[in-house]
Chain A
Amino acid sequence: MALKYAYHPGNIAHSSATEVSQTMEPTARSLGIELFPMDGATSCGAGIIRQANDLLQVTLNARNFAIAESMGMDIITPCAATAGNLNEDLARLKRDSLLLAKTNEVLQRTTGLTMSGDVGVHHLLHVIIDEIGLDKVSQKVRNPIDFPIAGFYGPNMQQEGACGEDDVFDPQYLEMLIKALGGEPILWESRTQSVGVPGLFSEEATVLRQIASTIDDAKSEGASMIVSACTLSHTALDVYQGKAGRATGISTNIPVIHLTEMLAFAMGHYNNRLAQLRTRIAVIGD
C-alpha cells in the first residue's frame, strides 16, 4: 500500500531548483509514496524569517502544520532546511503549551485554522530508510549510480529529533542509500556542516570559504560527485562553487546534484540526464 504524505517541496523547488520537483514526483511513484500537495502551504522560513520575527515564523509554520493535520497526513519534504525548520518549530509548539495556545489563538483569528501537534515532519531520506527500507530501494534500481559519492546532509536536518533514528553528528542514512543505489559512499567530515546559506548574501566572503572548504573535503576524500539532501545548500555548493574556488584558490569543480535527482536517475527516470551526469563526472568535472 502506498505511503501517503502531505508534500512540502521546500523553498526553491518552484523557482531556481525546478529539477527537484521534476525528479521528486517519479521518485515517489517508484518508491510507492503518494504525494498530496499542501495547498496554501508557505515557505518554512528557512531560519531567515526567524531572524526578523521568531514568532512570525512559528505561526506561519503552525499554519503549515494545521494544513497537514487537516489532510490527516505527515509532511514529507526533499529539503533538509525545510525538514529542520519545520521540525524545530513543531517541537517548540509541542513542548510549550502556552506558545501553542497563543499561536492557535492567532491562527484561529486570522485563518480559522488550529493545530494540535499531531503531525510529523519527515525528510525524504528518513522516509526511505525508516519506512520503505533499503531492500525495496535496491529492487527498484535500474541504473546503478556507480561513482564515489559524497553525501551532504547540512546542519538543519541533523538535529536531535529531526533525523529519524540516525546519529546527529555521525549519520549513516545517506551513505546507506548511496550504497543501495550502487554507489560508493565517501565518509567525509564536512557532510553535516553548514555552508552558510543564510549568510550567502550578507557574509559572502565567509560563505565562499565555507563552500570551498566543504567541497575540498569531499574531493580530498575521493568523491566524484556530491549529492545534497538540502536543496538550499545545493545552490551554494553548485551555483557558487566557481566563485568560491576563485575566492579561495581551492579547486572546487565537482558535480553537485540533489538527492531526488540521484534517486530518480537510479530508478530509471531521466536516463538522458543520467547520461549527461556521467559525462560531467568523466569529462567536464563539474
Chain B
Amino acid sequence: MILFGSESGNSEDLATIAEKQAKSLGLTPSVKGMDEVEVSDLPNFQNILIFCSTWGEGEMPDNAVDLWEAANGDSPPSMSGCNFAVCALGDTSYEFFCQSGKDWDEWFEKQGATRLLDRVDCDVEYDDPAAEFTTNAISLIASSGTGVANPPEEEPSGESEELSGDGASGPQAETDSGDLEGLLSSGDRSLMLLFGSQSGNSEGLAAKISKDAKSYGLEGEVHDMDGFDFNSLSGKKRVLIVCSTWGEGEMPDNAEDLWQFAISDSASRLEGVHFAICALGDTSYEFFCQSGKDWDGQLEQLGATRIIDRLDCDVDYDAPAAEWILEALPALAAVDSTGHFHEEMVDAIKMYASGSSAGAEGEDGFSMPEVKSEPIQASVSVFRYDPETSSTGTDTWLCSLPGHMSVLEVLRTLKASQDGTLTFRDGYPDDSNTAISINGRLVLPGLCRLDSAAPMREGSVSLRIEPLPGFEVIRDLAIDPWSLERKRESSKPWMVAATREGAHTPQGVMGKMDPAIASSLHSMKDFGSQNILHSSSDAVPHANGYLGPAVIASTWSRRNDPRTSPSKAEEIDKMLSSPIGIKAETDLASINRQSSFPRAVSESLLVAKNSVLTGDGFNGKHGKHVWWYTWTVKSSGMVNDTVIYRQALGPFALLGNLFSGVTARMVLGFTRTGGNVFNGMLGMVAPPAGIGKMPKQFNSSVENHHEVVAIFNEMDGRF
C-alpha cells in the first residue's frame, strides 16, 4: 500500500512514481490518498509506504486530516506485523519542518509496526532524496518477498492489488498466469548451480546450463561445492545440482565437505526451495550415480521440492543431459521469486525460449521480436503471365491473414488454396532467387512480413506483387536470372592475382590484407541478392547491354582488391568506362532509395563513376555534362543549361534537337505554359536563349559569389 497525504500534488506524484517502480520489480502496489482509506484498513497491509507533506504550522494536508484524527482516536489499531516507511515532504523555512511525516512515523512505530528504513525528511528540492528513499524501500520489500498481491478470490472487493495483504492469507501468486513476461523478468530470477566434479564434466555441464538459463529468463550462478555455504540455499528459490560419482558411490572430492554438512544437524531446512538433480555416473559401476541420488534424497528430506525427476546419466551424458535440460530449465523458470511454482506456465516458457513466443522484453536490454500478430485485411494483387498464350494480367485476392506471415508464406497459401498455377520462386527466407517487387520495393519475400510489406491504409494493406524489373519473366513472378548471369560471365569476374609477397604464419606462408581494405571490399559487395541490386536501377530495363549495378559493384570491388594484377585492373577499367559500364547508369538515385542493401553499395557505384569520369578526363558526353554542369555552378552559383547543352551535346546533337522537335518544344514552351514569349531582355537580344522555355544565355551571379569560387578553389582546383 502506498499512501499519500498531499496538498499540492507533490506527494501524490511521488506515490505514483513509487507505484511504477514497484511494478517494475514484480510487485502489485496500490496507491491511495489518505482520504480513500479507513484507519481500520491499515492493519490489513503488510507493507505501507507513506508520502506525506506538511501544511501550515505543522499540520496534516487536507486529505490526511480525517485519517490522522481517526488514527489518534480512542481505539487505534495495532499495526504489529506491518512494515512501514515514511517519506516526509516539507520546507525548512517553516518551524515545523516535515511535522506530518514525523507524526506518521511515530504513530506507526507506536502501534507496533516495523520501520523498514529511516524516515526521510525532504526540503523543497525533494526529487533526489525522495527517489533514493523510494528505491531503497521498494527494493527492501521486493527482496523480502512480502510485496505480493492477494489472490483475487480472497479480496473480491477489489483490494487484491494492495502491495500486501495480511500474513494469513495463504500462498500468494506473484504473477498472473498469463503474464509470462512479468514472470520471466521480475523479482529474483537467480538459479543456483552447484557442481560436484572430479574430472570436470559436471563443471562443464553446469556452465552450459547456466548459459542456457538466460533463454529462460534465469540468471545462472555456478558454484563449486567446495567451500559453498550450504545454509545459504535456504534463501534461494531454484537450485540445480550436477554431481558425478566417484569410486564406490562416493562424492567427488570437491563435494565431500558440503555433503557432510548437508547431512548434519546444522543444515538449514529448505522449504520453499525447488530443486533438480543431474547425476553423472557410469553403469559399469555398482553404485551408479549414487552421489546424485544422495543429494536428491537429502534435499527432499530437508523440505525442498523436487521440480523434475532426477536424471541419471551414463558416460555418454551429452544427449540425455541436453534433453533433460530442456525440461528442467522451463520448470525452474516457472518458479517465481516467492517460490511459487506456476506449472501452467511451463509450456509457454518452453515456447518462449524456443523463439516462438509472442515476444518479450527483458530489463537487461534484450528483446524477443514479436512474431505473431492479429489477422489483417490484405488485398494481394499478383502479376500473372502465361507464356503459352503470351497473356498478362493481374489477379487480386482479398484475404484476412496474420500480419506476421511472410509474403512468401502468403504466396504459398494462395498457391495451395486458391490457384495451383501461381508460379513464383520458392526457397529459404534468405534465398536471393526468391526476390520480387512489392509496390516497387524490391524484397526477399521470406524476410518481409505481411504487415510491414506496405503501409496500412484504412485498416488494410494493399500489395501489388510483381516480378523483379529488368529480367525476362518466365511465368508469373518467376524471372529468368540467366540474363544477369551472362552479363556477370561477360565481365570475367574471376580473380587474376598479382604475384606478391606473403607473410609467414604458423600455418605457412599466407597472403594478408589490411583489415580496413578487407572491410571496404566487403561492404561494396554486401548486397545479399544480386538480382535485387540489378533490378534497383531504373536504367537497366531500358539500357541495352548495360551490365547493371550488381555486376558493376562486384567488378569495382575486384578493381580495388590489392591482390588484383595490374593487367586485370586495366581490363576492369576499360570495361567500366565502356558504353555498358557505369556511365550507362542514368540515375543513381533509383539505386540509393532501395533499402534491401547497405548504402555503401550505392556509394561505391558513385565512386566508380567518379573514377571513370576522372580517368576519361571528363571527355565524351558524359564527362562533359558533369564537367560543364559543375563549371557553370562555379561561374555563377546557378546552373546554366545553355552552356551545358552547347558543351555536352555539341553542334551536331544540337542540330539534331532542332529537327527532333526538342528545340521547337523549348522555344514554343510559352504555348504550353501560358507564360511570356521572352524571358527578360536576353531573349530579345540573344535569341533563341530566353524564348519560351529556352534557358538563358547568361546567368547573373548569386550573392556572395566569391564564396562559391573560394569553395571550388579549396575543394577542387580542376574547375
Contacts and interface: CB of A to CB of B under 8 A. Distances in A.
Contacts of A193: 440, 538, 590
B672 A280 contact: yes
A136 to B, nearest CB: 22
B695 to A, nearest CB: 4
Interface string A159-196: 11000000111101000000000000000010011101
Contacts of A240: 662, 665
Nearest to B539: A206
Contact of A246 (B660, B676, B715): B660
Contacts of A84: 589
Nearest to B439: A170
A111 interface: yes
Contacts of A205: 544
Nearest to A45: B633
| Most chain A C-beta atoms within 10 Å of own C-beta, residue among B606, B622, B630 | B630
B566 to A, nearest CB: 26
Contacts of B590: 155, 193-194
A110 B669 contact: no
Contact of B593 (A55, A59, A160): A160
Contacts of A41: 637, 702
A16 interface: yes
A123 interface: no
Nearest to B712: A56
B112 interface: no
A40 B441 contact: no
A155 B610 CA distance: 21
B661 interface: yes
Given A48-B630, A59-B711, A53 B716 contact: yes
B625 interface: yes
B523 interface: no
Nearest to A232: B639
B661 A246 contact: yes
Given A206-B539, A255-B672, A42 B702 contact: yes
B42 interface: no
B395 interface: no
Interface stretch (B334-342, B497-505, B579-587): B579-587
A203 B622 contact: yes
A43 interface: yes
A285 B518 CA distance: 57
A275 B693 CA distance: 20
Nearest to A84: B589
A158 B703 CA distance: 31
A52 B618 contact: yes
Nearest to A241: B665
Contacts of B544: 205-206
B455 interface: yes
Interface string B581-615: 00111111110110100000000001101100100
B589 A155 contact: yes
A46 interface: yes
B405 interface: no
Nearest to A265: B674
Given A106-B714, A170-B440, A194 B586 contact: yes
A158 B590 CA distance: 9
Given A42-B708, A207-B586, A14 B440 contact: no
Nearest to A109: B714
Interface stretch (B133-141, B272-280, B295-303, B641-649): B641-649
B633 A43 contact: yes
Contacts of B699: 14-15
Contact of B662 (A47, A59, A239): A239
A203 B583 contact: yes
B538 A155 contact: yes
B542 A206 contact: yes
B637 A42 contact: yes
A209 interface: yes
Interface stretch (A17-25, A26-34, A141-149): A17-25
A38 B156 CA distance: 70
B673 A273 contact: yes
Nearest to B707: A111
B524 to A, nearest CB: 16
Contact of B630 (A53, A207, A242, A272): A53
10 contacts: A42-B638, A48-B630, A49-B629, A53-B610, A54-B607, A59-B714, A155-B592, A168-B441, A197-B586, A201-B624
Interface of A: 11-12, 14-19, 22, 39-43, 45-56, 59-60, 63, 84, 88, 106-107, 109-111, 113, 154-156, 158-160, 167-170, 172, 189, 192-194, 196-203, 205-207, 209-210, 213, 238-243, 246, 255, 261, 270, 272-273, 276-277, 280, 286
Interface of B: 439-441, 454-455, 457, 464, 538-539, 541-544, 546, 583-590, 592-593, 595, 606-607, 609-610, 613, 618, 620-622, 624-627, 629-630, 633, 637-641, 644-645, 648-649, 657, 660-662, 665-666, 669, 672-676, 679, 693-696, 699, 702-705, 707-708, 710-716, 719
